[in-house]
Amino acid sequence: MTISRAASCGVGALATIISVAAASFSPAIAADEVNIYSYREPGLIAPLLKAFTDKTGIKPNVVYAKDGLIERAAAEGANSPFDVLLTVDIGRLTEAEDKGITQAISSDTVKANIPSTYLDPQGHWVGLSKRARFVYASKDRVKQDSITYEELADPKWKGKICARSGQHPYNIALLASIIAHSGIEKAEAWAKGVKENLARKPAGGDRDQVKGIYSGECDLAIGNSYYMAAMQTNTKKPEQQEWAKSAKILFPNADDRGTHVNISGAVLAKHAPHKDAGVKLIEFLTSEEGQKIYAEIVNEYPLKEGVPISERVASWGTLKPDKLPLEEIAKHRAEASAIMDRVGFDAGPGA
């Protein structure tokens, strides 16, 4: 497996990324290769790609980046070398379709493996795993064992909440779900209330928010489910295991509409040079073997019915997912982003 990495690749860095990736993708079209653009971290997809190669003999070539891959593919047009885009968040999946870089995936195998709720009706994206947007709480300082997203805007939590950027796709999707449930006015009031309850300006990733709980900087943090597993099992950075020990997991809105969930997923490139290999990869990721890896190694919630969650994830409690259609969330993303700007979320409390 060949991996080319880029820490950040917005449109301004496009030329740099193209030159970096050139070494990764073979100029000749080989039937036993598949070229992947991935927003997912290498450590998360490596076990899946290894198992895919062991099963099929197809070699994956991967370009990894945090941003800019959809823009890059759109700029490359018919000359784009990628076959499959792996990403997180329904917003990025629908953005890829809107940018015209996808084609419909015609596969009875995929349709049989993944519930229709997590498939694009036109076939332009496929859900692969599910993650929940939890609230992490200090074991020592937070006594309650239940919470709602709405409660995060309660003044009783003033100076007690840590969060990453309001413009991050994970938080945009959460706010978009609140818009869908409660309307724009209530969603904006919520965003303003949470901003005023922040302990500091939004910064870092989801793990950094749990670090804030460990240090005493905050009592509550918003984060995706699999980050807890990643910290609990991180032997290379044992300090993260200590962060994880300081926090407990609360499933927001477990007693009413359910906890906000999102997905990781894949699209097949419109001009995929290895289309058959790309379809085989997506089929493998939706298969029982692939879904078990998502569950047991990545510690995400599998989408294929009958594949159990890992023991670690099960130990956290029972997830009652919000049944809001993902397409409904995607429709409100632009409004959610505008709200975050209007309330100055990323400026932090008091700004």
Binding-site residue set for Fe cation: 226-227
Half-sphere exposure of 300 (CA within 13 A, CB side): 25
How far, in Å, CA of 64 to CA of 42, rounded?
A: 7
3-class state of residue 29 by DSSP? coil
Q: Which of these, 33, 21, 23, lies nearest to 60 by C-alpha position?
A: 33
How far, in Å, CA of 239 to CA of 221, rounded?
A: 18
Ordered DSSP codes for 67-111: S-HHHHHHHHGGG----EEEEESHHHHHHHHHTT-EE----HHHH
Q: Which of these, 302, 322, 286, 14, lies nearest to 125 by C-alpha position?
A: 286
User: By the 8 A CB rule, do 131 and 251 touch?
Assistant: no
Q: Which of these, 310, 290, 288, 311, lies nearest to 300 by C-alpha position?
A: 310
- The pair of structure tokens assigned to 213 is 């709980």
Cα distances (angstroms) measured from residue 242 to each of 181, 215, 219, 326 = 36, 10, 15, 34
Beta bridge partners of 65: 6
- The pair of structure tokens assigned to 136 is 């992490």
Altogether, the residues listed in the chain come to a count of 351
How far, in Å, CA of 19 to CA of 69, rounded?
A: 14
Distance of CA 126 to the CA centre of its chain: 14
Place of tokens 């009958």: 306
Q: Annotated binding residues, as ranges? A: 226-227
Distance of CA 130 to the CA centre of its chain: 9
User: By the 8 A CB rule, do 274 and 147 touch?
Assistant: no
